[in-house]
Amino acid sequence: MPELTEISEDVRIYEFCVLYPSNLSQKEESTLLKDVETLIEEQGGKQVSKDMWGKRGLAYRIKGNDEGNYVVYHYELDPSKIQELDESLRITKNVLRHMIVKPPKGYEITKFSASYETWLKERETEEDRRKKEKEARLAKQVADKAKRQVKKAAKVASEEKEEKPEADKKKISEELDKLISDDDLDI
């Protein structure tokens, strides 16, 4: 990202943030942005960057609007012109709020729109990773449950098999005892 460096003593870099209503038509929006840019350029400003943040919800109503669009400019400008520019922006039609800031030395300009897109991609990959982990965990739980059920069924079946031979042995023993104790038997 470009780093802000001041060209001379009489020119500084300023950050302008402008908030305007989100319900403007495209024509009105482009006219407003051109007006703001020409206001700054008439004061001798040279545009360094422009970053459209887009529509955002507002914390409270401003002139009957719950949502607004933000645009951030970076301009090289003479500090003596800031007061006049501030007053011009204050009375500009369709500008809900504006802010002029002098960034600290060494400040790097980062485009919010690019950062936001990167963040969205990271969030998607993070969500995909979480989904895969959750699916793997659920698959493991299902497999473990199936193994437990198979083991339980095998254990029940083996217990039944073990009980049958004992019952058969008991039956055979009883019948043998009956036969042996039988008085009719001639040996």
Query: Is 145's pLDDT higher than 60?
Result: yes
pTM for the structure as a whole: 0.56
Query: Is 72's pLDDT higher than 60?
Result: yes
Host H or E run for residue 59: strand 46-62
Q: What is the pLDDT of residues 40-58, one digit of tens each?
A: 899 888 888 888 888 888 8
- Token pair 């020119």 is found at 11
Cα–Cα dist 28/26, whole Å: 6
Give how far Cα 73 sits from Cα of 60, 77, 184, Å. 24, 12, 119
| Mean per-residue pLDDT, 158-181 | 72
Q: What is the pLDDT of residues 90-124, one digit of tens each?
A: 988 888 999 999 888 888 877 777 777 788 888 88
| Residue 61, helix vs strand vs coil | strand
Tell which CATH classification among 3.30.70.60, 3.40.47.10, 3.90.470.20, 3.40.190.10 matches the domain 12-107. Answer: 3.30.70.60
Comparison of pLDDT for 129 and 17, the residue scoring more:
17
| 33 contact partners, CB below 8 Å, separation of at least 6 | 71
Count CB neighbours of 17 within 10 A: 15
Pick the closest to residue 113 from 49, 52, 72, 56 (CA basis).
52
Q: How confident is the model at residue 156 (pLDDT cuts 50, 70, 90)?
A: confident
Backbone angles phi, psi at 94, to 5 degrees: 70, 5
